[in-house]
């Protein structure tokens, strides 16, 4: 509450405010504006008299604005609608995909290809088409992967479209004395508007008159209870005062008339929306990881490329040849298919999560939950059921617990007591709530109720335990009623009795317990009326305190059978001028209500904790309620105390308690505003269990920023508009699918379709799994880079015929490697990933030096040898023994040499030996496929043996067959010699790489065995990625 | 904290004096990892050499495992030239010097003085004859004798009388050989069907004939007479089979010299030469398999 006090200094008149927002803004003004938005609401109208407000807007309290004036204001202020958040044009998104990541490198390659071809075309009559061909292929690769990523992204962002509600809002305004229904967009400041129950408030209005008007501010403040509105200013804070109603909140019941004071983006809601869309969100952790990885790979590619370019020049190759080498090295170094693989893996996980009620809007957010180290959760609706439920009752001098679970699986209490029947009768009769029609087949708890939250809770409780309330009400006809009002703090009604022979009237009353007690002289114990003595009063006090301490709202109930002599049948009860007995009643009992936690939440919070995730509750609700729920769901775990608890236990002042002793803390919004940044960091660092109560939207943002400052990856859950800035600022914002407001869904990255906090745990699990699996996938894909690069390097350095061509490299990267790499996304977890700490974003990288060491330095090298062996086998069996190959390149690649001698003295024409060379490319390619079989099996696990992990991943097995079939197809399909220059292999050549494939498997199994045998040993430190 | 990382983080990474770390590792750590990689790559090298040795054991010393790519043989010519073009200026010796030099070098090993050793060479006659079988490849006869082939058989193209091989006079010589393929026996055409009419007179027993003509229609009549020198003006069968480098180190493959006696000057002429035989094939892609074409462009100004 107090935070708003700070806004004093920003409280400038709205007119002045408007000047600030003149359309011409300089640079930097935007930033200032953002700071401005982070501050509180500059509304003062609630403190003005109605006349002053009328004067300010030149309107009339009866006639409203004139049409001319309204038109003038409309032109001045613009329509009453929120400016939609700026969207990136589609073509920019497309270009980002087209030129992001490795694309730049591949574009360079493609351009070099075209350049080389242009040079050849200019200098030769009959240029070889190789470079042109390769350039086209590279361009196609970039464009196709770009399109693929673009469409994947477009698909996931399209999910949002379904949430947009395009029905235009209507508003009832009074202009020139006439009521007119206009489009809510045309409402202007100064308009006199009328709202009734069920309407959406069209703008921020200053209430001038109200009849039983209640508004639901939950989307703005998080308070779940409807609040009444009246013309009086009850609070300095515009959000707390009764005489303001806010844009896009709902009027629940009653009617009200008011003057519009703010429209569109200037409304409280508009400011939050603008703040939200203006927030810069950082990159997702996985995006940072991928960027880091791209930097490494690009660095290696550029370094190798330039080194060999210079080396080639020094070795006396021509510029053209050096450029062609450069292209080859770039193509070999860039894992062309990897980004598409990552996208597919993330998409698959997103789909899996959607099945578990986590809808992912932004693909990269899939992993974010996995690396989350702090969850800031809203209370209402996420942790709780967002439904008042009777939790406890006190009667017969005893507290009884009611069943609050969603499925009524909890314990029940003794319903046989006569007192309970009386209590139930009072609760049922003194109750205006009723079920909406046509829901008889629904379970009671699912039915919709017309009436306020407490009465609905009572209604459902009675309906559940005593049967049809309607029948009870029919039998006990209501003859008079005084509704609840804030001065009396009670509600009473007078009924006929069920017993037809009994002509007495029954008076039932409920209200604030202390008020009810004051009116009672007796108390019902075990069905018998006893006089209220001090002992019973104290016992009442204790029960009241205890239930209040649980954060529950307590109501007292009493009744009396009115004596027939004073109130005979047909007595005219006058409710305005109370002409009947309202004291000396008989106290029946207390009932207390709370919005109970969801059943699955305590378990989920426990799982989060064992997964090393800190759960912080951030709510707009009262500290006591917040703390009670926090204890109920385990956010404050059993045995942990706050500073206040310690103080109370030791009976010392709060100031004497060492704050370090308390692991838990509950922080009030009022205190939060006085905290410096250091104090804030201190709290976040030193308390493991934190509850923030009574927080404003801006404070939620500050909390999130505080956590992020400490290096945490923060997830925020929330449903209200007030949560949306925090949702946007968080590393991952999680909105509620059912209860969430559109603005919050807009700001979030993920939507929980069932509003259940427990679904987040699923998300965390999936996120961690995909991170692990992406590592495996990348390790697998990167490994084949070495057998792709080394042929080029040896070709340049020792002048052997080229062992592997650029086209075959592309066949590996974009063909055979794809499905196995993707299949690793389906790999099951190796151990319980929910039992370990969240990854440290500074230390635990997706791609680290150990992964590179394993993939490039070890497995990749074995693979390269496998490929080279196949290459030497083919050349040797065709007549070129290994010893003869070194240095042969110059003649080998000379078109005019058509009698090149092999080791047997045979003479080869250019074309003949080229066919052998291309057969070698094919064999090298096939060998890479063969060694990648072992690699994919090896990459399935990072620590366990394959024999422990099993081969249950069907997609992976499919991938093995698919890549083999594809390799066979590329080798044997007629026409491939022309299309890709790949030639059929003799069957025996398929087996060349088998020993190396086996070697990879054995080597890595031994490595993993050593890791398991010596945890923390040298092998683990150097090779566990 | 990440904020400290930016300033001096790079330098600290290079050399961290506090921990004694070079590039993020201590000396001991570097030693271990380097030692590991040395041992690892040493083992890999051993394994690789082992498999290569195993491979060498499986290949024969005398004959490659597969010959399907080298046969049917190619037809190559000397002097060879970039993009199979021969162009020069009659009046400028500089322009045809590379050609004559290549011819001289090529014919050097056909010198008679090099073929005198009776242990290595034998006479196979100056007329085409049957294949000369010198036993099986795998038999333990060892090194086989080679048939003599004297450069004098090249006539005016032998370079002995005309060191310019006719280039100076605009009657350039081209020496053609059928590429060597171990154990390959070229078969003369058994019928005249596949042979163009003009080439048919060249078909005679025990010789694989070669015939050159204009490649393009429009060059008809501009080529003039082409003279063929060599045994039977083709490739005589007694020079086959070839027993490979190891068993047949002195082998001289038969040559055919072509002399273009009346080429039209100052124009581009495309000439195609083909050998004909039952087991000689041509390929669309390989312009040197069983044939070749060459472009002459001689200026006489």
Task: Kindly state the DSSP code that residue A813 receives in the 8-state scheme.
Answer: I
* Cβ atoms within 10 Å of A907's Cβ, excluding its own: 23
Record: contact A842-B47, CB cut-off 8 A: no
Record: contact A909-B62, CB cut-off 8 A: no
H or E segment to which residue A543 belongs: helix A534-549
More confident residue, A676 or B194: A676
Confidence check: pLDDT of A8 > 50: no
pLDDT for residue A996 = 96
* Cβ atoms within 10 Å of B280's Cβ, excluding its own: 23
Same domain, B98 and B164: yes
Residues in B 20-49 with any Cβ partner in A closer than 8 A: 32-33, 36-37, 40-41, 44, 47-48
Partner residue facing B181 (CB), from A857, A906, A1018? A906
Nearest one of A1004, A858, A895, A870 to A944, comparing CA atoms: A1004
Confidence check: pLDDT of A160 > 60: no
Calpha distance A104→A120 (Å, rounded): 24
pLDDT for residue A807 = 86
Separation in Å, CA of B6 to nearest CA in chain A: 13
Nearest one of A542, A547, A556 to A594, comparing CA atoms: A547
Instruction: Give tens-digit pLDDT for A701-711.
Output: 889 989 999 88
pLDDT for residue A159 = 53
Separation in Å, CA of A608 to nearest CA in chain B: 25
Helix, strand, coil proportions of chain B in percent (round to 5)? 30, 20, 45
B159 domain residue, yes or no: yes
Measured N-to-C along each axis, helices A697-709 and A677-686 cross at an angle, to the nearest 10 degrees, of 70
Same domain, B44 and B165: no
B167 domain residue, yes or no: yes
- Cα A903 to the center of its chain, rounded Å: 67
Q: Which residue of A has its CA nearest to B76?
A: A898
Confidence check: pLDDT of A25 > 60: no
Instruction: Give tens-digit pLDDT for A552-586.
Output: 889 999 999 888 888 888 888 888 888 888 888 99
DSSP assignment of A741-775: -HHHHHH-SEEETT--THHHHHHHHHHHHHHHHHH
Confidence check: pLDDT of A114 > 80: yes
The segments of chain B whose pLDDT lies below 70 read 1-9
pLDDT for residue A231 = 86
**Is the Cβ–Cβ distance between A153 and A363 less than 8 Å?**
yes
Say if B142 is an interface residue toward chain A (CB within 8 Å).
no
Greatest mean pLDDT among A501-505, A736-740, B204-208 lies in B204-208
The number of distinct structural domains making up chain B is 2
Say if B60 is an interface residue toward chain A (CB within 8 Å).
no
pLDDT for residue A408 = 67
Proportion of chain A above pLDDT 70, given as a percent: 93
Confidence check: pLDDT of A297 > 70: yes
Which chain A residues contact residue B292 at CB under 8 A? Answer: 898
Calpha distance B251→B150 (Å, rounded): 12
Same domain, B289 and B153: yes
> Catalytic residue numbers of A?
378
Instruction: Name which of A99-108, A401-410, A724-733 the model is least confident about.
Output: A401-410
Same domain, B183 and B248: yes
**Is the Cβ–Cβ distance between B76 and A909 less than 8 Å?**
yes
Say if B85 is an interface residue toward chain A (CB within 8 Å).
no
Partner residue facing B74 (CB), from A865, A907, A919? A907
pLDDT for residue A437 = 79
Please give the average per-residue pLDDT across A516-539, as a whole number: 88
Alpha-helix runs per DSSP H in A879-953: 882-885, 889-892, 910-939, 946-949
Please give the average per-residue pLDDT across A652-676, as a whole number: 83
Task: Say whether A74 sits in a helix, a strand or coil.
Answer: helix
Same domain, B96 and B126: yes
Confidence check: pLDDT of A161 > 70: no
Please give the average per-residue pLDDT across A843-847, as a whole number: 87
pLDDT for residue A38 = 62
Say if B182 is an interface residue toward chain A (CB within 8 Å).
yes
Residues in B 196-235 with any Cβ partner in A closer than 8 A: none
B150 domain residue, yes or no: yes
Same domain, B37 and B86: no
Calpha distance A300→A303 (Å, rounded): 5
* Backbone φ, ψ for residue B116 (5° rounding): -85, -25
Confidence of residue A406 (pLDDT cuts 50, 70, 90): low
More confident residue, A151 or A17: A151
Mutate to test the interface with B, among A794, A873, A880, A909 (most CBs of B within 10 A): A909
Record: contact A898-B76, CB cut-off 8 A: yes
Confidence of residue A5 (pLDDT cuts 50, 70, 90): very low
H or E segment to which residue A286 belongs: helix A285-314
Calpha distance A359→A375 (Å, rounded): 18
Please give the average per-residue pLDDT across A195-218, as a whole number: 84
Any idea of the CA torsion for A614, A615, A618, A622, to the nearest 10 degrees? -120
Alpha-helix runs per DSSP H in chain B: 2-6, 9-14, 27-58, 93-108, 244-247
Measured N-to-C along each axis, helices A910-939 and A785-797 cross at an angle, to the nearest 10 degrees, of 150
Confidence of residue A596 (pLDDT cuts 50, 70, 90): confident
pLDDT for residue B204 = 86
Confidence check: pLDDT of A981 > 80: yes
Nearest one of B212, B258, B290 to B79, comparing CA atoms: B258
Partner residue facing B180 (CB), from A861, A881, A906? A906
pLDDT for residue A35 = 65
Confidence check: pLDDT of A611 > 80: yes
Strands (E), A572-731: 585-594, 614-618, 664-668, 689-693, 714-718
Say if B13 is an interface residue toward chain A (CB within 8 Å).
no
Instruction: Give tens-digit pLDDT for A209-230.
Output: 888 888 887 777 766 667 888 8
Greatest mean pLDDT among A24-33, A183-192, A940-949 lies in A940-949
Q: Which domain holds residue B259?
A: 75-299
B163 domain residue, yes or no: yes
B69 domain residue, yes or no: no
The dihedral through the CA atoms of A23, A24, A27, A31 has a sign that is: negative
Same domain, B243 and B103: yes
Q: Which residue of B has its CA nearest to A842?
A: B2
Partner residue facing A912 (CB), from B48, B80, B286? B286
Partner residue facing A905 (CB), from B1, B66, B245? B245
Confidence check: pLDDT of A167 > 80: no
**Is the Cβ–Cβ distance between B275 and B75 less than 8 Å?**
yes
B88 domain residue, yes or no: yes
Say if B98 is an interface residue toward chain A (CB within 8 Å).
no
Long-range (24+ apart) CB contacts under 8 A made by A76-80 are A77/A188, A77/A189, A77/A263, A77/A264, A77/A266, A78/A264, A79/A185, A79/A186, A79/A263, A79/A264, A80/A184, A80/A185, A80/A186, A80/A187, A80/A188, A80/A202, A80/A203, A80/A263, A80/A264
Confidence check: pLDDT of A14 > 60: no
Calpha distance A698→A180 (Å, rounded): 37
B44 domain residue, yes or no: yes
Separation in Å, CA of A867 to nearest CA in chain B: 11
Calpha distance A547→A541 (Å, rounded): 10
Same domain, B33 and B132: no
More confident residue, A263 or A962: A962
pLDDT for residue A13 = 29
Confidence check: pLDDT of A7 > 60: no
Confidence of residue A21 (pLDDT cuts 50, 70, 90): very low
Confidence check: pLDDT of A28 > 70: no
Confidence check: pLDDT of A825 > 80: yes
pLDDT for residue A39 = 62
Which chain A residues contact residue B44 at CB under 8 A? Answer: 861-862, 865
Confidence of residue A677 (pLDDT cuts 50, 70, 90): confident
B43 domain residue, yes or no: yes
Same domain, B16 and B142: no
More confident residue, A120 or B52: B52
Straight-line distance from the first to the last Cα atom of chain A, in angstroms, rounded to the nearest whole number: 50
Nearest one of B177, B202, B173, B172 to B276, comparing CA atoms: B202
Same domain, B153 and B261: yes
Please give the average per-residue pLDDT across A988-1016, as a whole number: 95
Task: Please name the residues in contact with B273: beta carbons below 8 A apart, sequence gap of 6 or more.
Answer: B75, B77, B176, B210, B211, B212, B258, B291, B292, B293, B294
Which chain B residues contact residue A875 at CB under 8 A? Answer: none
Mutate to test the interface with A, among B1, B61, B74 (most CBs of A within 10 A): B74
More confident residue, A21 or A862: A862
Same domain, B210 and B288: yes
Residue B155: which CATH number?
A: 2.60.40.1660
Same domain, B21 and B81: no
């Amino acid at each position: 509450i107090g935070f708003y006090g700070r806004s004093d200094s920003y409280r400038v008149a709205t007119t002045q405010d408007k000047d600030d927002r003149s359309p011409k803004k300089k640079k930097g003004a935007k930033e200032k504006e953002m700071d401005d938005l982070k501050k509180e609401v500059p509304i003062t109208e609630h403190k003005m008299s109605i006349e002053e407000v009328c004067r300010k807007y030149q309107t009339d309290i009866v006639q409203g604005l004139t049409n001319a004036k309204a038109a003038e204001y409309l032109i001045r202020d613009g329509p009453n609608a929120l400016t939609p958040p700026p969207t990136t044009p589609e073509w920019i998104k497309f270009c980002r995909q087209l030129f992001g990541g490795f694309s730049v490198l591949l574009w360079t390659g493609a351009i070099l290809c075209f350049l080389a071809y242009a040079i050849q075309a200019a200098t030769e009559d009959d240029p070889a088409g190789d470079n042109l061909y390769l350039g086209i292929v590279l361009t196609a690769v970039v464009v196709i992967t770009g399109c693929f990523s673009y469409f994947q992204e477009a698909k996931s962002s399209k999910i949002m479209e379904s949430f947009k509600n395009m029905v235009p809002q209507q508003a009832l305004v009074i202009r020139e004395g006439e009521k007119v229904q206009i489009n809510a967009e045309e409402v202007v400041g100064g308009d006199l508007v009328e709202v009734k129950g069920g309407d959406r408030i069209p703008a921020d209005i200053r209430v001038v008159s109200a009849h039983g008007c209640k508004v639901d501010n939950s989307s703005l403040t998080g308070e779940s209870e409807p609040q009444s509105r009246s013309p009086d200013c009850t609070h300095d804070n515009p959000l707390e005062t009764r005489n303001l109603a806010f844009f896009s909140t709902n009027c629940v019941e009653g009617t009200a008339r008011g003057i519009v004071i703010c429209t569109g983006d200037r409304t409280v809601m508009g400011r939050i929306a603008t703040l939200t869309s203006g927030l810069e969100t950082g990159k997702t952790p996985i995006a940072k990881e991928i960027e880091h990885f791209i930097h490494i790979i690009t660095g290696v590619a550029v370094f190798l490329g330039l080194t060999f370019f210079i080396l080639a020049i020094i070795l006396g190759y021509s510029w053209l040849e050096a450029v062609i080498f450069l292209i080859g090295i770039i193509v070999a170094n860039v894992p062309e298919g990897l980004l598409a693989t990552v996208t597919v893996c993330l998409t698959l996980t997103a789909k899996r999560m959607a099945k578990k009620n986590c809808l992912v809007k932004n693909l990269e957010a899939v992993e974010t939950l996995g690396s989350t180290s702090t969850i800031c959760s809203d209370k209402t609706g996420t942790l709780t059921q967002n439904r008042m439920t009777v939790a406890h009752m006190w009667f017969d001098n005893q507290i009884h617990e009611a069943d609050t679970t969603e499925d009524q699986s909890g314990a029940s209490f003794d319903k046989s007591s006569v007192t309970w029947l009386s209590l139930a009768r009072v609760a049922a009769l003194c109750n205006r709530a009723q079920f909406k029609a046509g829901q008889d087949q629904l379970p009671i708890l699912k039915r919709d109720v017309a009436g306020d939250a407490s009465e609905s809770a009572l209604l459902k409780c009675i309906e559940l335990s005593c049967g049809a309330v309607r029948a009870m009400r029919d039998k006990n006809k209501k003859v008079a009623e005084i509704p609840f009002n804030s001065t009396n703090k009670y509600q009473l009604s007078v009924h006929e009795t069920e017993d037809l022979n009994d002509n007495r009237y029954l008076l039932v009353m409920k209200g604030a317990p202390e008020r009810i007690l004051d009116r009672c002289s007796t108390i019902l114990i075990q069905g018998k009326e006893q006089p209220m003595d001090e002992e019973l009063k104290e016992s009442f006090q204790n029960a009241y305190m205890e239930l209040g301490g649980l954060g529950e709202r307590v109501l007292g109930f009493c009744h009396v059978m009115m004596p027939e002599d004073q109130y005979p049948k047909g007595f005219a009860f006058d409710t305005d001028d109370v002409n009947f007995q309202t004291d000396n009643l008989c106290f029946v009992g207390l009932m207390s209500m709370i919005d109970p936690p969801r059943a699955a939440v305590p378990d989920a919070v426990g799982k989060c904790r064992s997964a090393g995730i800190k759960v912080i509750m951030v709510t707009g609700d009262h500290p006591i309620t917040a703390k009670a729920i926090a204890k109920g769901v385990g956010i404050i775990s059993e045995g942990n105390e706050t500073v206040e608890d310690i103080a109370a236990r030791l009976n010392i002042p709060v100031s004497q308690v060492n704050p370090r002793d308390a692991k838990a803390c509950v922080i009030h919004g009022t205190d939060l505003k006085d905290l410096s940044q250091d104090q804030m960091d201190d709290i976040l660092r030193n308390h493991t269990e934190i509850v923030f109560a009574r927080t404003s939207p801006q404070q939620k943002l500050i909390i999130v920023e505080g956590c992020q400052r400490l290096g945490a990856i923060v997830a925020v859950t929330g449903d209200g508009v007030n949560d949306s800035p925090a949702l946007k600022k968080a590393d991952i914002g999680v909105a509620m699918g059912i209860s969430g407001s559109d603005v919050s869904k807009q700001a979030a990255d993920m939507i929980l379709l069932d509003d259940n906090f427990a679904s987040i745990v699923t998300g965390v699990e999936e996120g961690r799994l995909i991170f692990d699996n992406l590592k495996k996938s990348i390790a697998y894909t990167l490994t084949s880079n070495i057998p792709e690069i080394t042929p080029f390097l040896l070709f340049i350095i020792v002048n052997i015929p080229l062992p592997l061509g650029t086209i075959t490299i592309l066949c590996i990267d974009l063909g055979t490697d794809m499905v196995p790499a993707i299949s690793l996304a389906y790999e099951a977890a190796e151990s319980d990933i929910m039992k370990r700490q969240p990854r440290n974003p500074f230390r635990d990288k997706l791609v680290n030096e150990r992964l590179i060491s394993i993939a490039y330095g070890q497995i990749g090298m074995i693979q390269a040898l496998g490929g080279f062996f196949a290459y030497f086998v083919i050349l040797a069996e065709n007549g070129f023994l290994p010893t003869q190959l070194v240095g042969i390149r110059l003649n080998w690649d000379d078109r005019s040499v058509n009698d090149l001698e092999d080791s047997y003295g045979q003479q080869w024409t250019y074309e003949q030996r080229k066919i052998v060379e291309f057969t070698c490319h094919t064999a090298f390619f096939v060998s890479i496929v063969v060694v990648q079989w072992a690699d994919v099996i090896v990459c399935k696990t990072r620590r366990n043996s394959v024999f422990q992990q099993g081969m249950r991943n069907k997609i992976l097995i499919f991938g093995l067959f698919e890549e083999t079939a594809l390799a066979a197809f590329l080798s044997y399909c007629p026409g491939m010699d022309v299309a890709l220059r790949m030639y059929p292999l003799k069957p025996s050549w398929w087996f060349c790489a088998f020993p190396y494939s086996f070697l990879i498997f054995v080597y890595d199994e031994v490595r993993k065995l050593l890791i398991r045998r010596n945890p923390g040993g040298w092998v683990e430190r150097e090779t566990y990625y | 904290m990440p904020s400290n990382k930016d300033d001096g983080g790079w330098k600290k990474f290079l050399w961290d004096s506090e921990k004694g770390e070079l590039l993020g590792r201590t000396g001991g750590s570097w030693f271990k990892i380097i030692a590991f990689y040395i041992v690892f790559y040493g083992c890999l090298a051993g394994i690789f050499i082992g498999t290569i040795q195993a491979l060498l054991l499986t290949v024969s010393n005398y004959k490659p495992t597969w010959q399907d790519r080298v046969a049917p043989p190619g037809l190559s010519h000397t002097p060879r030239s970039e993009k199979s073009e021969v162009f020069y200026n009659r009046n400028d010796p500089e322009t045809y010097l590379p050609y004559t030099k290549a011819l001289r070098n090529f014919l050097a090993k056909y010198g008679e003085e090099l073929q005198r050793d009776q242990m290595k060479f034998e006479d196979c006659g100056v007329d085409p004859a049957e294949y000369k079988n010198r036993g099986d490849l795998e038999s333990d006869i060892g090194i086989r004798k080679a048939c003599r082939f004297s450069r004098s058989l090249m006539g005016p193209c032998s370079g002995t009388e005309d060191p310019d091989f006719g280039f100076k006079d605009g009657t350039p010589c081209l020496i053609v050989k059928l590429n060597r393929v171990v154990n390959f026996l070229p078969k003369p055409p058994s019928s005249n069907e596949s042979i163009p009419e003009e080439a048919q007179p060249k078909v005679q027993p025990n010789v694989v004939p070669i015939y050159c003509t204009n490649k393009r229609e429009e060059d008809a009549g501009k080529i003039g007479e082409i003279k063929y020198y060599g045994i039977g003006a083709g490739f005589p069968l007694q020079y086959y089979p070839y027993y490979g480098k190891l068993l047949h180190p002195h082998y001289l493959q038969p040559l055919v010299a072509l002399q273009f006696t009346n080429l039209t000057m100052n124009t581009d002429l495309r000439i195609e030469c083909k050998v004909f035989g039952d087991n000689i094939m041509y390929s669309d892609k390989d312009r040197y398999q069983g044939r070749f074409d060459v472009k002459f462009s001689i200026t006489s100004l």
